[in-house]
Amino acid sequence: MRAVVITGVSRGLGAALFDVSTGRGDRIFAVGRHFTAEQQQLRDERPEDVTLFSTDIADAHWLPDNDTLRGFLRGSEDVVLIHNAAVVEPIGAVGKLTTEAITNAIAVNLTAPIVLTNTFLRAAPHDARVRVLFVSSGAAHRIIDGWALYCTTKAGGETFFDAVASQVRDDDRISVVNIDPGQMDTGMQENIRRAASSGAYFPGQQHWVDAPAEGRLADPIAVAERILKEHAS
């Protein structure tokens, strides 16, 4: 039996990961502030298989605790944690960003994955196969002007998960990987295009504005299927 914990499932890649995972029969523990009507209906129809944990992941104190995750993962032979939730905001020049936007980006993109991974590894059954997936970005490896917080938190996240991977390198049961899904047709891309029209500091904005017309945005379902097939099957 495979148990999968996913953050940020209300839209985009997270919603696609939820759909593909439930479609193949996984038990799901979804963490986030919002859930779709379809996800809530599935939870009502299959309460033993689908758990919707409502919380603001920007507050690490309200993430699932050890007892909660241990109870969900108990009895599973295969356990997977997918860090999908992320925010690209704030987009703009450093010196003009709000403290609230800065701290929120760090909390969602970096603090939450670190804290949740720590709890997940403690809660995972000792005899289970364990996979931890961090959905990263090409922005972790190249500077995109105007995206200081997104570049920084994704790079920091990759460093953390590389460190965890090194820690468990001699344990064949556990794998920890960073994944770059590429550009996808998601709400995040809409937020990027909105920022491009806002007048914020964003020198390379035309590349992102032109992405839909140029066919550079992948289908989230196809990306989710590839990620799960390669790293969590």
Q: Is residue 205 part of a domain?
A: no
In a domain, 146, yes or no: yes
Q: Does the residue 195 lie in any domain?
A: no
CA 168 to chain CA centroid, Å, is 21
On whether residue 140 sits in a domain, the answer given is yes
Domain CATH for 122 = 3.40.50.720
> How many separate domains does the chain show?
1
Q: Which domain holds residue 90?
A: 2-183+220-231
Q: Tell me whether residue 162 is in a domain.
A: yes
Residues 16 and 228 sit within 8 Å (Cβ to Cβ): no
The predicted structure's pLDDT at residue 190: 85
3-state secondary structure of 45: helix
Residue 198 lies in a domain: no
DSSP codes joined into one string, 52-100: EEE--TTSGGGS--HHHHHHHHTT-SEEEEEE--------S-TTS--HH
Assigned domain for 206 exists: no
In a domain, 215, yes or no: no
Question: Quick one: pLDDT at residue 171?
Answer: 97
Asked if 52 and 160 count as a contact pair (C-beta separation under 8 A), the reply is no
pLDDT truncated to tens, each residue of the chain (233 aa)? 999 999 999 999 999 999 999 999 999 999 999 999 999 999 999 999 999 999 999 999 999 999 999 999 999 999 999 999 999 999 999 999 999 999 999 999 999 999 999 999 999 999 999 999 999 999 999 999 999 999 999 999 999 999 999 999 999 999 999 999 999 988 888 888 888 778 889 898 888 788 888 889 999 999 999 999 999 98
